[in-house]
Structure 1
Amino acid sequence: MLIGYARISTILQNADLQHDTLSLAGCEKIFTDKISGTVTERPALTKVKEILRRGDTLVVWRLDRLGRSLKDLIDWMNYLESEGIALKSLQESIDTSTATGKLVFHIFASMAEFERNLIKERTMAGLSAARARGRVGGRPKKMNEDKRKLAVRLYNEKHHSIDAICEMMGISKPTLYSYVKSESRNLEIN
């Protein structure tokens, strides 16, 4: 069964072009979301996922109707492939029910992975260069060392509740626990 999915970003847009094209492609059912592609929860797309069965083909007008990023598309492709469902994009002429269509899609996926690895390498090189110049990075500590030690001392004395200590010091529980853990590591080292 061919199942169509259309998406328009705003209520002011019209999905007629996508509907007409999906109908001409032979879609028996067409589901439409009127929502931005950046929104994760799309009711019509969720419904499509529920009704798709092994051997079906999900048909979209363009790939960007299905996912906003290449990662989204790859996630969808992996899901569809694992369920035995093909993907067909009419504008890009991609049909993963064919060997050529799968190849084209996997080339896109490989390029996306390559791009992610390049970004990671550049980021690591930038951080190394910054460290070599004495920059540490990260968010600055909320409290100076004396206040951190006071918070840990109050915690260890057990005269105040965790909530009271956090309120007095103006910190969250995870921050307090982080200070306590850090202080205990410092004691072990010394």
Structure 2
Amino acid sequence: MKLVGYARVSTVEQNLDLQVAALKAAECSEIFTDHGLSGADFQRPGLRKALRQLKVGDMLVVWRLDRLGRSLVDLITTVNGLSRRGCDFRSLTESIDTSSSSGRLVFHMMAAMAEFERAIISERTKAGMAAARARGSRIGRRPAMTDAQTCAAWRAVEIDLEPISEVAARYEVHPKTLARVLREARID
């Protein structure tokens, strides 16, 4: 049996070292990675390569269940697909090993709990955002330009006929951002 490891981090700032070290300690003969890719997206190059390496009797190993994926449906589909191919799955942190019937049961229970937790977090986040809006707080990114800057930029582009690229550089925004801000402001 060959152990094939898979590690993933969602953002470029995150580091794969902890996961890779754990997979090496678990004696994975090959380790495939995806850096800066969401677990919600199952079209990941490293994951595809890892899955292609698996033969009958092999095992896919991840450091933690959520490194394989975020969606319960996708996790179960992937692990069931491995099973149909005669391969097993192991998650080191949750001690899940589908080479046994109890491991398969634990996998399904853990996956359901993980999805439930994400749903609760999402609901709390949405409720918090709604409460902030009700208090009058602005949600999201800070505007690229103030109202005064927008008016001055509009005058420069529309009245003084300055090139939008020069005006954008003056306000340290991209020309497309300036064009969008001016469109949204609809200054007359």
Alpha-carbon shift at residue 166 of structure 1 (Å)? 0.7
From the superposition, tell whether residues 156 and 71 of structure 1 become closer, same or farther in structure 2 (CA, over 3 Å). Answer: farther
Aligned equivalent of 1:31: 30
**CA distance in structure 2 between the partners assigned to 1:143 and 1:182 by the alignment:** 12
Instruction: Among all aligned residue pairs of Structure 1 and Structure 2, give the percentage whose two residues are the same amino acid.
Output: 25
Find the partner of 2:69 among 52, 69, 74: 74
1:109 — aligned with what?
Answer: 111
- Equivalent position of 1:94 in the other structure: 97
- Are 2:4 and 2:58, in contact at CA under 8 Å, matched by a contact in 1? no
Partner of 2:173: 171
Partner of 1:125: 127
8 A contact 1:5–1:45 mirrored in 2 = no
SS of 1:143 mapped into structure 2: coil
Note if contact 1:3-1:57 (Cα within 8 Å) is conserved in structure 2.
yes
Partner of 1:25: none
Give the deviation of 1:147 after TM superposition: 1.6
Q: C-alpha deviations, 1:19-63, integer Å up to 9, x for none? A: 3xx7xxxxxxx2257xxx89469x99775333225x453243xx4
Q: Distance in 2 between matches of 1:180 and 1:137?
A: 21
Q: How far has the Cα of 1:118 moved from its partner? A: 0.9
Structure 1 position 5, deviation (Å)? 2.9
- Following TM superposition, the consecutive aligned residue runs of length 4 or more in structure 1 with deviations greater than 6 angstroms are 13-16, 43-46
CA distance in 1, matches of 2:168, 2:91: 57
How does the TM-score come out when normalised to structure 2?
Answer: 0.61
TM superposition shift of 1:93:
4.9
Partners of 1:139 and 1:44 in 2: CA distance: 32
What code does the residue aligned with 1:74 have? G
In the alignment, residue 31 of structure 1 is paired with which amino acid?
E
| 3-state SS in 2 of match to 1:134 | coil
| Counterpart contact for 2:96–2:106, Cα < 8 Å | no
Larger radius of gyration: 1
Contact (CA 8 Å) 1:59, 1:89: kept in 2 or not? yes
Residue segments in structure 2 that go unaligned for 5+ positions in a row: 8-15, 38-44
1:131-160 CA distances to partner (integer Å, 9 max, x unpaired)?
A: 232222333334321220232344445833
> How is 1:50-69 mapped onto 2 (pairs within 5 angstroms)?
50-53=52-55, 55-60=56-61, 63-64=62-63, 67=64
160 and 146 in structure 1: CA distance in 2 versus 1, 3 angstrom threshold? same
Worse-matched range after superposition: 122-131 or 158-167: 158-167
Equivalent residue, structure 2, for 1:27: none
* Offset from partner CA, 1:114-145 (integer Å, 9 cap, x none): 11111111112222222232222333334321
TM-score (norm 1): 0.60
Query: Can you give the 5+ residue segments of structure 1 that lack an aligned partner in the other structure?
Result: 23-29
